[in-house]
Amino acid sequence: MNSASLNRLLCPQTVAVIGASEDASRIGGKPIAYMLKQGFAGTILPVNPKRETVQGLKAYPSIDALPETPDVAIVAVPASAVLDTVTALAKRGCAGAILFSAGFAEIGEKGAALQDEIVAMAKAHGMRLIGPNSLGMINPQTHFYGSFATGLELGFPKPGNVAIVSQSGAYGAHLMTAAVAAGIGLSAMVMTGNEADLTLGDIVDLLVEDPNTKVIALYSEGVKEADTLVAALERARQKRKPVVIMKVGQSALGQAAALSHTASIAGDDRVFDAVMAELGVVRVQTTEQMLDIARLATRGIYPADNTLGVFTVSGGAGVIISDAAALHQLAMPPMPESAQKKLLELLPFATPVNPVDTTAQVLNDMTLMRAFTESLVVDGGYRSILGFVTYTATAATTGDRLREELKSLGQAHPDRLFVLIALGDADKLRRYEEDGFTVFEDPSRAVAAIAAMGHYGQAFDRQPKQTPPAMAAITLPDTTPSEATAKAILSAAGISVVPETVCTTPEQAIAASQALNGPAVLKIVSPDILHKTEMGGVLLNVQGDDQIRAGFQTLIERAKQHDSAARIEGVLVAKQMQGGVQCLLGIQRDPVFGPMAVFGLGGIFVEILDDVVLHRCPFGEDVALEMIHSIKGAPLLLGARGQAKADLKALAKMLAKLSAFAVAAGPKLQSIDLNPVFVMPEGEGVYAADAVITLQP
């Protein structure tokens, strides 16, 4: 959307309410009552054919009768009247409509068809829709309350810089109410409803451009348009707007049954985790974490080189904070020696390392408090400063003096992130917030939020990634390829498989084995024998012409015994791999985010320990290397337990190529399973020993 349309939708000047009600407790009455109460900056145009006025405002009998074209219309009419309403609005040139009305896609096919018709009509005239079945949209900056959320009865959000977008109406309203209670100012609140037109990603896209929005908080129950969302989140990252997301339904998704190993790995919630991590979005599990992070993020300080310096009046709190920092991998380097010495001279009982424990002594002499905190900022150079001052922040005997010292410190160092753990009277705590100190009650929660600011910083500063390997479009066969065909397709795309030949005579087999320079694996090749191992169709470690000849004959005989009608295409002679580390490389098409690459060590690591990493395709070797290093079992590839260091370079190259292959193969591809892949010692390459490609049904 261009910025004029954006402005009309997010900050409407003229708002029509279709189905406007005199009764302030009805859904057609609430938005008007809220806007009148809070003083909406623009014009409200109620539409109601039965009344002269609505809640004291002049009412109009129809959309056509409106004296001017509304920027936005709130639609609170029965489902059956929505199409006509949208048609009239669209024809009038309205920029957007917020559809409260329910009874569409959420109730079944008939509703869905009507919904489609409405969207088509709106699109034809360039009008955008929020909903239907939406609890609406709010802009506290202009007091635009295009919502019937009852939660507003408890308090209207104050204007601020956090935009909340929720795919749930009721939970969105809960979030908004909790945000109001936490003192968070909002730039926008959007409840997307059925997302017939504008989806979560579209709204994010609007907010990235909105100058009032500094922080975007999302509540999601399922992504409808992955490409739009991914693009919008990537734009948010580039524009240094932090996004925090709460995506629910982990446990249910985790249960989705799937057939192949890769499928059961990729078909769970970790796909979403992987994509959010890639885009620099912080994913949280709880509403509190979401609001904590959003609140702190409004400070606009995102240190990529985040470090935590702590001052505390309690040694115990220092330990709690250190534990939490370790948990969140937030660095807490010690103070410089010289500074430690200086502090000890000021206060011999202090612990000056980091956390800097001033003991309660400091409360008797606030100049000491200033000296200690200033030393953390200046000498320690920490990017984030956390002070545990608990009730002393507000207690009558200490509060005012403490605030005075801290305030001037904060003013002198606007580039640092200052956080306090403090308790007491809400008004007194709010004053610290106004001074630039974000206040938490719980030290563990504060540390989690501070760590998130560092994650944003790293994501914002991230260097462009390597270009994925170039790959021409791949044409997959129309039916599921055999192992040999799958390997041939992959091999042609530069993904190295174990050297192998399909042989139809013992002589061919002997010739093929001589080229292997070592023992061979023999496998029967037949489209009618799916479970080779079970019928004795695989022979390992076969060496020498005589053994090869005998093995060839054994396999042919076994196949005939197993199924006299089986079509036998020959015997596959492959190199018997020795040593190396066995890994699994795979692709699984996610229904939302498309092909995902999967990497892990083979065997128990995948099947029992679930030690795998996922990434959206395609990606380059740099990302592949990061993936390889991120699994728990990585030390086995790096030379643990006396093993040779594995050929990581070749492994990364194969993984990146596989990711490019998955994209080049297009939507026909369902999954690829390379298992095992032999990762040989450094310089000796990687080889897929088995390959399964499945196609979309």
Report how far residue 3's alpha carbon sits from residue 18's, in angstroms, rounded to the nearest whole number.
26
Taking CB under 8 A as the criterion, the residue among 65, 124, 256, 360 binding a copy of itself is: 360
Residue closer to a copy of itself by CB (options 178, 493) is 178
Task: Give yes or no for residue 173 binding a copy of itself (CB under 8 A).
Answer: yes
Return d(Cα 7, Cα 385) in angstroms, integer.
38
CB 348, min distance to a copy of itself, A: 10
Of 518, 477, 471, 514, the C-alpha closest to 492 is 471
Find the binding residues for a copy of itself in span 628-667 (CB under 8 A): 632-633, 635-636, 640-641
Name the minimum Å distance from CB 218 to a copy of itself. 12
For a copy of itself, which residue of 219, 432, 552, 687 counts as binding (CB under 8 A)?
219
Q: Which residue has the tokens 């018997």?
A: 576
Nearer to a copy of itself, 355 or 618 (CB): 355
**How far apart are CB 107 and a copy of itself at their closest, in Å?**
8
Instruction: Give me the least distance between CB of 171 and a copy of itself, in Å please.
Output: 3
Task: Bin 257: left if φ > 0, else alpha if -120 < ψ < 50, else beta.
Answer: beta
Q: Least distance in Å: CB of 357 to a copy of itself?
A: 9
Which of 65, 170, 256, 378 touches a copy of itself (CB under 8 A)? 170
Under the criterion CB under 8 A, does residue 310 sit at the interface with a copy of itself? no
Residues in the interface with a copy of itself (CB under 8 A) total 73
Nearest residue (CB) to a copy of itself, 396 versus 470: 396
Binding flag, residue 441, a copy of itself (CB under 8 A): yes
Helices 200-209 and 226-238 cross at an angle (nearest 10°) of 20
- Range 276-308 burial, b when 16+ CB lie within 10 A, else e: bbbbbbbbbeebebbbbbbbbbbbebbbeebbb
Place of tokens 């999302």: 218
DSSP SS3 for 384: strand
For residue 172 the two structure tokens come to: 């969105």
CA 2 to the chain's CA centroid: 26
Tally of CA atoms within 13 A in the half-sphere of 485 that contains its CB: 13
Q: Which is nearer to a copy of itself, 81 or 326 (CB)?
A: 326
Q: Which residue from 444, 508, 543, 630 is in contact with a copy of itself, where contact means CB under 8 A? A: 444
CA pair distance 273, 254, nearest whole angstrom: 13
- Is 485 or 643 the residue whose CB approaches a copy of itself more closely? 643
Rg (CA), the chain: 32
Whether 100 contacts 131, CB under 8 Å: yes
The region of 13-21, 419-427, 565-573, 669-677 touching a copy of itself under the rule CB under 8 A is 419-427
Q: Are 555 and 564 in contact (CB under 8 A)?
A: no
Does residue number 351 form part of the binding site for a copy of itself (CB under 8 A)? Answer: no
Under the binding rule (CB under 8 A), the answer on residue 171 touching a copy of itself is: yes
User: Least distance in Å: CB of 592 to a copy of itself?
Assistant: 16
Amino acid, single-letter form, for residue 31: P
Minimum Å gap between C-beta 600 and a copy of itself is 13
Report the residue number, 621 or 673, with the smaller CB distance to a copy of itself: 673
DSSP characters for 331-373? B-PPPPHHHHHHHHHH-TT-B-SSSEE--GGGGG-HHHHHHHH
Residue with Cβ nearer a copy of itself (4 or 396)? 396
Q: Which is nearer to a copy of itself, 502 or 606 (CB)?
A: 606
Per-residue string for binding with a copy of itself, 361-400, x by CB under 8 A?
A: --x------------------------x-xxx-xxxxx--
Q: Which of 619, 696, 512 is nearest to 274 (CA)?
A: 619
Which residues in 70-99 contact a copy of itself (CB under 8 A)?
A: none
Site membership for a copy of itself, residue 334 (CB under 8 A): no
For the record, the structure tokens of 118 come out as: 């409405």
Nearer to a copy of itself, 262 or 394 (CB): 394
Complex with a copy of itself: residue 586 or 633, whichever CB lies closer = 633
The structure tokens listed for 84 are 């006509």
- Residues 408 and 406: their CA atoms lie apart, in Å, by 6
Task: By CB under 8 A, tell whether 174 contacts a copy of itself.
Answer: yes
Is there binding between residue 243 and a copy of itself (CB under 8 A)? no
Distance CA 18, CA 62 (A): 8
Task: Kindly tell me which of 304 and 609 has the beta carbon lying closer to a copy of itself.
Answer: 609
Among 117, 209, 221, 225, binds a copy of itself (CB under 8 A): 221
| Torsion angles phi and psi, residue 683, rounded to 5 | 85, -10
Nearer to a copy of itself, 67 or 642 (CB): 642
Cα 406 from Cα 592, distance rounded (Å): 48
Query: Of 521-560, which residues contact a copy of itself (CB under 8 A)?
Result: none
> In sequence order, which ranges of 516-595 are alpha helices (DSSP H)?
545-562
In the window 104-143, what residues touch a copy of itself (CB under 8 A)? none
Among 93, 316, 518, 683, binds a copy of itself (CB under 8 A): 316
Cα angle: 243, vertex 248, 254; to 5 degrees: 125
Q: Minimum distance from CB of 234 to a copy of itself (Å)?
A: 26
322 belongs to the binding site for a copy of itself (CB under 8 A): yes
| Shortest separation between residue 485's beta carbon and a copy of itself, angstroms | 28
* Of the residues 96, 267, 443, 551, which one makes contact with a copy of itself according to CB under 8 A: 443
Task: State yes or no: residue 164 binds a copy of itself (CB under 8 A).
Answer: no
Tokens of 684: 């000796």
Token pair for 185: 């100012």
Write out the binding residues for a copy of itself, residues 9-38 only, by CB under 8 A: 25
Strand partners, 598: 586, 614
Name the DSSP class of 579.
S
Please tell me whether residue 65 binds a copy of itself under the rule CB under 8 A.
no
Min CB(477)–a copy of itself separation in Å: 32
- Other C-beta atoms within 10 Å of 260: how many? 18
Phi-psi region of 300 (alpha: psi -120 to 50; beta: other; left: phi over 0): left
Residue 473 found at the interface with a copy of itself (CB under 8 A): no
Q: Is 167 in the site for a copy of itself (CB under 8 A)?
A: yes
Buried b (16+ CB within 10 A) or exposed e, 236-252: bbeeebbbbbbbbeeee
Query: Least distance (Å) from a copy of itself to the CB of residue 309?
Result: 17
